Structure 1
Amino acid sequence: MKSSVFVSARIIAAVIVTLFMFFPIYWMGVTALKSPEELRLAVPTFWPEKFMWSNFLNVFDKIPFARFSLNTIIQTVGIVVLQINVALMAASAFAKGSFIGRDKLFLLVLAALIVPDQVVFVPVYVMLSKIGWLDTYYALIIPHAASAYGIFLLRQMFRSINNDVIEASKMDGANRMQILYKVLAPMAMPTVVTLLVISFIGSWNSYFWPLVMTNSDKMRVLTVGLAKMRDSIGGNEALSFHLLMAASVTVIIPIVVVFVFAQKHIITAMSNSTFK
């Protein structure tokens, strides 16, 4: 009896917490579908009186949304591809390689986790300025080519793989790259997918770095574009707030879709990421 009451209490608590966490997203969605007149009502409505799907199209008139989307996609794909490949090669070296100072070098990689972008952006900005990379895709992608956290995750996963698998692959004539991409990577697929999701979300949501490294609309990304749109409607929130919410909904949809399809891999990877 007590156990059933306890289980019921846990379910009720989980539902309440979920509703509290989901409500801001719900409110953003319904606001994106309201008209300016409905937003100005004294008593807010929890469901649109009339669905204004045109709000999503009107966003393109406020900012160059298509260009910002293309820049964001290029930045995100570039960073994800580089981070995964660099992490795979570095993690396999730290987990299965044998060279002088391996563990000390790995500690240096872990130390990079505590260094935020705000600390290094000045020297990186100066360096990119000198080589003429500012306001280019190179400035958005190359500085984020390596992920210390991704190397850590994959290194922990690779250490759990028996060395006999690698020896058997060598006996079959596989070289190092074939072992990495055809043997180790498939066995570490949950961790690879987790890194992909983390890298995707971090790149898609990046704001500070693109803001500093770009200075023209042709290179702006969605996060910077949303901030620009918010600033442009300053003082007229009641007239354009629905457009800002429509743009925000459009921006978060890819993140939600990627997370929903990859969540089972994330749980598996996190359970295997203990420090060994």
Structure 2
Amino acid sequence: MSSKTWKTIRLIAAILVTLIMIFPVYWMVITSFKTSNELRLAVPTFWPETFMWSNYAEAFQAAPFGRYAVNTVIQTVGILFLQINLAIMAAYAFAKGSFPGRDKLFLLVLAALIVPEQVTFVPVYVMLSNLRWIDTFYALIVPHAVSAYTIFLLRQTFKSISNDVIEAGKVDGASRFQTLYRILTPMAFPTIATMAILTFISSWNSYFWPLIMTNSNDMRVLTVGIAMMRDSVAGDEALNFHLIMAASVMIILPIVLIFVLAQKHIITAMSNSTFK
């Protein structure tokens, strides 16, 4: 098989895989513009007969999505701020610090990567209930304030930075925090930006945790709001599917925009994430 033929086959395979992956997104978008009657047709249409832009306004009014959006932003920003800053300090300690048991503690952090959230859910829920944090932002934010994966990636990045940079900072009279935030953090910006994006996406899309930790509509987030939308509108998913898809499109737009703008930082950070 010639090189040109092999390249053609790979190109065709890549196009097919791409089409398969983006088809659900395409179907969600076109469904958001359809009418409820068109959705009940025996043969589904791959293009709306009439573009119903009003679906978006109706979806936004069908439930208190304004309040859900505010709650989602507060949850996401809170988790993002704590997770990135705590990871920066922890990664600096594991990469450049010198203290007994450093490597063993880092292995313990890595071990947390294999523990799924569902395993620790019950004890964490009981603890938060005893603290009376259920149905508060504390329950939505604090349990996700630390990420083992973020610490791992930042530690790898900090280890790749020469110690001479730190020594130069000390000579200039910089404290540890000044060295960390004014020297090392800008040098590790691609990794930090990548982890901020991934943390944002994870927090924005979080469903299981907010569903369990909140009881009132005033504390619901967007993902939970969409899941409850069937009852909010008419209690019939088939009748409300176009509104559910319209709400879903509005929710994923910030994620798509951020990912497109920052994809080069993600590639750079992943290329520097080998274990050292």
TM-score w.r.t. length of structure 1? 0.96
Structure 2 residue 79 is the aligned partner of structure 1 residue 79 = yes
Q: Which residue does 1:166 correspond to in 2?
A: 166
- CA deviation after TM superposition for structure 1 residue 250, in Å: 1.0
- Listed one character per residue, the Cα deviations across residues 111-155 of structure 1 (whole Å, up to 9, x for unaligned) are 111122212222222222222211111110011111110000000
- CA deviation after TM superposition for structure 1 residue 22, in Å: 0.6
- CA deviation after TM superposition for structure 1 residue 233, in Å: 6.4
- CA deviation after TM superposition for structure 1 residue 234, in Å: 8.0
Amino acid at match of 2:2: K
Give the whole-Å Cα distance in 2 for the aligned partners of 1:117 and 1:231: 28
Give the whole-Å Cα distance in 2 for the aligned partners of 1:230 and 1:238: 9
Q: Which residue does 2:5 correspond to in 1?
A: 5
Q: Which residue does 2:145 correspond to in 1?
A: 145
Q: Which residue does 2:274 correspond to in 1?
A: 274
Give the whole-Å Cα distance in 2 for the aligned partners of 1:238 and 1:44: 13
- CA deviation after TM superposition for structure 1 residue 215, in Å: 0.4
Q: Which residue does 2:126 correspond to in 1?
A: 126
Q: Which residue does 1:46 correspond to in 2?
A: 46
Give the whole-Å Cα distance in 2 for the aligned partners of 1:231 and 1:274: 47
Give the whole-Å Cα distance in 2 for the aligned partners of 1:237 and 1:118: 28
Amino acid at match of 1:33: F
- CA deviation after TM superposition for structure 1 residue 62, in Å: 2.2
- CA deviation after TM superposition for structure 1 residue 40, in Å: 2.1
TM-score w.r.t. length of structure 2? 0.96
Give the whole-Å Cα distance in 1 for the aligned partners of 2:42 and 2:258: 38
Preserved CA contact (<8 Å) 2:63 2:232: no
Aligned with 1:193: secondary structure? helix
* Correspondences of 1:1-276 after superposition (within 5 Å): 2-230=2-230, 236-276=236-276
Aligned with 1:134: secondary structure? coil
Amino acid at match of 1:192: I
- CA deviation after TM superposition for structure 1 residue 207, in Å: 1.0
- CA deviation after TM superposition for structure 1 residue 45, in Å: 1.6
Give the whole-Å Cα distance in 1 for the aligned partners of 2:233 and 2:21: 27
Amino acid at match of 1:249: V
- CA deviation after TM superposition for structure 1 residue 41, in Å: 2.2
Amino acid at match of 1:56: Y
Give the whole-Å Cα distance in 1 for the aligned partners of 2:96 and 2:177: 13
- CA deviation after TM superposition for structure 1 residue 237, in Å: 3.1
Aligned with 1:52: secondary structure? coil
Give the whole-Å Cα distance in 2 for the aligned partners of 1:46 and 1:2: 38
Preserved CA contact (<8 Å) 2:191 2:266: yes
- CA deviation after TM superposition for structure 1 residue 232, in Å: 5.2
Preserved CA contact (<8 Å) 2:150 2:195: yes
Aligned with 2:193: secondary structure? helix
- CA deviation after TM superposition for structure 1 residue 235, in Å: 6.8
Change over 3 Å in CA distance of 1:128–1:88 after alignment to 2: same
Preserved CA contact (<8 Å) 2:207 2:223: yes
In structure 1, stretches of 5+ residues that fail to align are: none
Q: CA RMSD, aligned part only?
A: 1.5
